[in-house]
Amino acid sequence: MKVLIADDDPACRKLLTSALKKMGHEVQVCVDGREALYALTSPFAPRIAIVDWMMPEYSGLDVCRKVREHVSPIECFIMIVTQKDMAEDIVLGLKSGANDFLTKPFYQAELEARVSNGCKLIEAHQQLKVFAGLLPICAWCKMIRNDRGEWEKLEQFIEDNSHARFTHGGCPTCTEAALSAYKLGIENIKK
């Protein structure tokens, strides 16, 4: 997943960039709060952001507040980097719209776990969005057009895009109709 790093310190940027690339993420780097705000509110914004608390132009808190005016916490996972570990600072950060916190120096397991949590939240939200938009369905056969433009069975589409799995049974109406058709068929054979 693409991760935005916003930090005015070149050494911290290098460290985070190397660490995230090592974890397999694509990285977009910003050198101050204004640049980060612009990147996070653009149409192709990264969905995970690691933003330093203290930056020129806009602080990490300012970036969070302003991003949240446009983008919800489930659409963009923002982590604020701080050297502060006081409870009130964490509360202040969370109130400004941050999803999570990272403290310096960074520890591999912690960084991986927190970024991974962010990825899971974003992926879950993207999955939900599949069912939130308009889905083209054939009015007759009920086949559905997927995002590759192919027509597939409704049940296959749902299985592909969710954790739901289908078992096959019969509703009373269809069971009765099927039995009637079966009986009619038998009677016709007898005749």
116 part of the interface to other proteins, by CB under 8 A: no
52 binds other proteins (CB under 8 A): yes
Q: Among 13, 25, 47, 114, indicate the residue that binds other proteins (CB under 8 A).
A: 13
Q: Is 162 among the residues that bind other proteins (CB under 8 A)?
A: no
Closer to other proteins at the Cβ: 109 or 164? 109
**Which residue, 18 or 180, has its beta carbon nearer to other proteins?**
18
* Nearer to other proteins (CB atom), residue 45 or residue 102: 102
- Dmax of the chain from CA atoms? 91
Interaction mask 69-108, other proteins, x per CB under 8 A: --------------x--------------------xxxxx
Is residue 14 a contact residue for other proteins (CB under 8 A)? yes
Q: Give whichever of 9 and 75 is closer to other proteins, judged by the CB atom.
A: 9
Residue 79 pairs with which residues in a beta bridge?
Answer: 50, 100
CA pair distance 8, 131, nearest whole angstrom = 40
Q: Does 10 bind other proteins (CB under 8 A)?
A: yes
Query: Residue 90 corresponds to which tokens in the numbers above?
Result: 């964490």
d(CA 89, CA 143): 53
Cβ burial 152-177 (10 Å sphere, 16+ → b, else e): eeeeebbeeeeeeeeeeeeeeeeeee
- 54 contributes a contact to other proteins by CB under 8 A: yes
Give the angle 152-153-154 at the CA atoms, nearest 5°. Answer: 115
Q: Which residues lie closer than 8 Å to 56 by C-beta, 6 or more apart? A: 8, 32, 33
> Contact positions toward other proteins, by CB under 8 A?
8-15, 18-19, 22, 52, 54, 56, 83, 104-108
